[in-house]
Each structure stands twice: as C-alpha cells, then as structure tokens.
Amino acid sequence: MRDLFFLGIAFVLIFMALRRPFIGLSLWLWSGLFVPVFWLYGIAAGISYNTLFAALTGVSYLFASKKPVPTFNLQVTLSILFFLITTITSATTIVIPELVWMEWDKFLKVMILFLATTLILRKKAHFDMYIWAILLSIGFYAVIEGLKFIASGGGHKIHGPYGHILADNNHLAISTAMILPFFIYQMGNKWPAWLRVGLIAALCISILAVLGTHSRGGFIALLVVGGYFWLKSNRKVISIVGFA
C-alpha cells in the first residue's frame, strides 16, 4: 500500500520535474539524501529515484526556453580544479585502485549535482524549494530519530540508515547541525501559523537528535551553530538560557 501511494505521488513529481528544472533539481537532491528505497518494500523499491530525477533535470534544462547564463565564479572554479586534482591523484594512487575509484565515483556524482545547482538556481523561490528538499530529507530523518530518542528517555543511539551516505553517527550529527539554520530561515518566511509551529518543533527535536548520536564532532558543530546565532541575537540573555 505504501509503495502504491508513493508511486502515485512519483508520477506527479515526474510531471513537475519536467516542467521546471529547479523542481527536478530539488527532487534530485531530496532523493539522494532521503533515499526513498529505504522506506519502500515492494514494487517501488526497485527504482533508482536519484538517477531518475537527475535525468529528468537534465532533460528539463535542455528544453527550457530561458536558460540562466552559467556563472564561473571563484568558488565554482576552485571546485572544478579540486575535482581535477582528485582525478589525477586517483589515477596515480599507490593504494587499492578499486577503493579509490569507488570514492572518486561518489565525488563525481556530488560535482555533477553541484554544477547543476550553479546552472539552475537563480531566484529566491528556487533556493526556498532547494532548502525544503534538504529539510524534508535530512531534517525528516533527524525528527524521526529525535522522537525515538525522546520516547526512549535518551537511551536510543541515533545513526543513519545502513548503506546511506550519512550512515555514520558523526556524519548524521554534523549534517543535522548544518541544517539548523535552514529551519530558522524558513521560520522567517511567510508561512501559515501551523507550519511555523511545526518548524519550531522540528528545530528543537533536531537539536536533541544531534545529542542522541553521541557524536563529539556533532556536539562541537552544535556549539558552533548555537554560538553564531547567539552572537547575532538581539536578546543574548534569553538566548543563552535557551541554549543551556
């Protein structure tokens, strides 16, 4: 039943991705971080949604009537140079080539997504949807695991799905700390009251999820993010109480 429901939604998402490149790009990112097959068990589990949405984004961009002009700023140039360096070092590696090229292949996919992002995203609405894709993937998982952490009275140790890019508890903790500003950003937009309350609740639960990973690196990341917002806050006394 879950698979049929998801497939029904997937057809709508495919249609939307073909109409707007930035929608396809957001779904590409979402499917890569959320990995729908981890939540499906039947006929829908055999589909590579990340590859599907990546291809749809490419097709949508190629046939778009008004393509944004590519921008090669310093960040893009340095990223491309870094990728070229890793390609050279992978080709001249002195360790096991199979393992090196496996990691290079992962980096290649990240670079393709990065370059597609620089080509497509231009307007505020584009970035807003891109941020929602992150919140509905990493944020969703953080909230689910955070609720388990609360229900267990702190006994549940949080880690990412096995085989996922964020399977390691340290990776999941740091990525969750990184998306906390996105919750705060979306809370500043004009959304219905119930959605703003949901964002506040998700923010608080995600903070607990970072602690639930038992990751020291995640805890340091949480302190850095909290310290930054404390410096920018106009109510430092109230903020420090909340952080405590």
Query: What is the predicted pLDDT for the residue at 47?
Result: 86
Mean pLDDT of the chain: 91
Q: Evaluate if residue 237 carries a pLDDT over 90.
A: no
67 confidence band (pLDDT: 50, 70, 90): confident
User: pLDDT tens digits, residue range 153-173?
Assistant: 988 999 888 878 888 999 999
**Rounded Cα distance, 48 and 237, in Å:** 49
Which pLDDT belongs to residue 87?
A: 97
Q: Is the pLDDT of residue 148 over 90?
A: yes
Segment 164-220, tens digit of pLDDT = 888 899 999 999 999 999 999 999 888 999 999 999 999 999 999 999 999 999 999
pTM assigned to the model = 0.89
Domain ranges of the chain: 1-68, 74-120, 123-244
Instruction: Say whether pLDDT at 151 is over 90.
Output: yes
The pLDDT of residue 31 is 93
